[in-house]
Structure 1
Amino acid sequence: TESRHHQHCDAVHFPVGRVAVSFDSVMAAGSFAYPDVFGFPPFFSKQPNSDTNTKRVQLWRDLILSYCRHYRVFVLSIDLQALQQSDLFSNPQIGRTLRPEDAGEIMQQLAAAGFAEWCPGDGKRCFIWWRNPKEWGDLLWRWAVEKGYADTVLTVFEIREGEATEKTEFAGMDEEVLLKSLRCLETEGKAAIFESEGGEGTGVKIFSKAS
């Protein structure tokens, strides 16, 4: 019985060689190229064979990072309703949706590898670090210096929604992700964060040189 069980487990082989998505892959304009494994039903279920399941989790990690990078997703929810409505975690063509407990395991692995961080609260939301806060902070600092915004006061709203940043990678960025990135700069002595006067919200001064 044990031998037959192992044969059954080992019979599940994910089509790794045919995966079309990687962290740095180039996507078609306006659409996301899902990997072939996304149409493979066992991909959506935890596998009893530990080696097989480890490979499955790795494939999910690559898919999540590629998807979020392509669509500029900064936070993912993994409660049941969110999973069912997500075109990342659900494939109606094969009638499969990732279960919350499986999604939680995958997110935990992402967090352990430095690619995610649990949001404060009920453990149902994760920041996804397809670019981590330090990398975002470095981009912000270079932008401010190159575009002449260093050593001037900017509000977080201006950075997220202002005309000056509308064609940058951080336009429309999740506010908490932006604040985490600015805090990295502050830790490095490259910025100062404060509450703006007049109720304008959080402000920041990005320095042209580290203090």
Structure 2
Amino acid sequence: MNGDNRIHLVRDEIRRVSACDHATLDAVAELLGTREINVLAGRLGMVAAHMASRAGIAEGMPPPGTFPGAGNERIDLAAQWNAVTVAGWFVRKKLTAWWWHDVLFDGVLVTYELVKAFVTAVVDDDPSHITRLTLRLRALSAGRLVIEVHDSPENAHLISAADNLISPQVEHVAHHCGRHEHQGRTVLWCELARPELSRWI
């Protein structure tokens, strides 16, 4: 079976499961043991959270939401060169605390690249005018992380006019990445995927 056929089969299967009424789900649950019900419920919850995180991707928007109980942190920084180092330190500290060691290197690399591009666009215009940026780190699911850099009202016009803010290095390690603009405001974002966990069902 080729990849396209498999994707279409999974899509159809997800649609069938999501259309089940409570009586059907209860009948299925009677055929399963308690342990398997708990495992499947956890897996289906992860599938639901992951599917919800896909909304808006086709339009270039960063994925919405945060996985329940997972990390969601932000830091506001002056858009100056030392922000690159501070942002990298912040992401390293948070990912270590969340036990996301498997994306630590890529997470710090992406942070450096996005913040560096942002600061370059602002400082090249007027180094003496201090503006701000916001770095946000969100766990979308147990396996996906989004790193975002947001503009501020004082530098929104500079970021909007800047080109090539997503570097080839970011594109190389990203599962998805992009630049989203809405009403004159810009967010640069990158989604990283953890290595798939082994499945035992």
Normalising by structure 1, what TM-score? 0.25
Larger % of strand: which?
A: 2
| Higher RCO (Cα < 8 Å, 6 or more apart) | 2
